[in-house]
């Protein structure tokens, strides 16, 4: 079994030609939350994943095997609830309200400008419909937010955006 213990977030710094040649591994969200698991890559190789505890693997991440080979992770389609504002009498603000209520329940949630995604839950689906949102079952990749203090989702070094997050524009210290 080929062992993998290194992850490169989103393949940062790797040449596109290397990523194109890499084997792939299609994983659902439940498996991508685990730091230790076995799988089979697109080349039929048995791989054992041994990442630092707490590591979340995202679609687009690249795993580096002990022999130096690369394995590109693909977020597998899985059952989700896709939540959108009601076309008849809803507004995009309804998604903000829904995200608030779901977050209050510590539900993993994927945020998009025009929709939200959560794992299937009939109780939550009923709550969202009562809030006049449209809830539809779908099979799609699921990439929930990692949390404000998590390094699992989008992360960047301070100042990487080219601007200061403290802003200092008329704000009292």
Q: What is the pLDDT of residues 33-76, one digit of tens each?
A: 999 999 999 999 999 999 999 999 999 999 999 999 999 999 99
Instruction: Check pLDDT > 90 for residue 150.
Output: no
| Average pLDDT over every residue of 16-33 | 96
- What's the CA angle centered on 85, arms 104 and 94, to 5 degrees? 40
Strands, sheet with 133-140, edge to edge from the N-terminal-most edge strand = 110-111, 116-118, 78-85, 133-140
Q: Where in the chain is the domain with CATH 3.30.70.790?
A: 78-140
The strand pairing partners of 26, in sequence order, are: 74
Give the pair of three-digit tokens for residue 124: 């939550």
Strands 70-75, 23-27: pairing kind: parallel
Q: Where in the chain is the domain with CATH 2.60.260.20?
A: 2-75
Instruction: Check pLDDT > 60 for residue 158.
Output: no
pTM of the model: 0.79
- What's the CA angle centered on 169, arms 163 and 96, to 5 degrees? 75
Gyration radius of the chain's alpha carbons: 19
Confidence of residue 102 (pLDDT cuts 50, 70, 90): very high
User: In the chain, what percentage of residues exceed pLDDT 90?
Assistant: 80
Confidence of residue 89 (pLDDT cuts 50, 70, 90): confident
Q: Does domain 2-75 have CATH number 2.60.260.20?
A: yes
Instruction: Check pLDDT > 80 for residue 159.
Output: no
What is the CATH class of 78-140? alpha beta
Provide the pLDDT for residue 138.
98
| Alpha-helical runs (H) found in the chain | 16-21, 29-32, 93-104, 122-130
CB 139 within 8 A of CB 103: no
Confidence of residue 163 (pLDDT cuts 50, 70, 90): very low
| Average pLDDT over every residue of 9-30 | 96
């Amino acid at each position: 079994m080929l062992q993998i213990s290194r992850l490169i977030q989103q393949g940062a710094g790797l040449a596109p030609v290397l990523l194109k040649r890499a084997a792939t591994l299609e994983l659902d969200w439940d498996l991508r939350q685990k730091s230790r698991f076995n799988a089979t890559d697109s080349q039929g190789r048995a791989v054992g994943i041994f990442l630092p505890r707490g590591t979340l693997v995202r679609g687009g991440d690249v795993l580096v095997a002990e022999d130096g080979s690369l394995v590109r992770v693909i977020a597998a389609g899985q059952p989700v609830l896709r939540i959108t504002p009601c076309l008849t009498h809803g507004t995009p603000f309804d998604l903000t309200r829904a995200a608030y209520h779901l977050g209050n329940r510590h539900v993993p949630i994927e945020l998009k400008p025009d929709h939200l995604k959560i794992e299937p839950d009939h109780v939550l689906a009923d709550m969202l419909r009562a809030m006049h949102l449209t809830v539809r079952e779908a099979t799609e990749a699921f990439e929930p937010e990692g949390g404000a203090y998590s390094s699992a989702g989008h992360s960047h070094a301070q100042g990487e955006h080219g601007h200061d997050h403290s802003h200092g524009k008329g704000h009292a210290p």
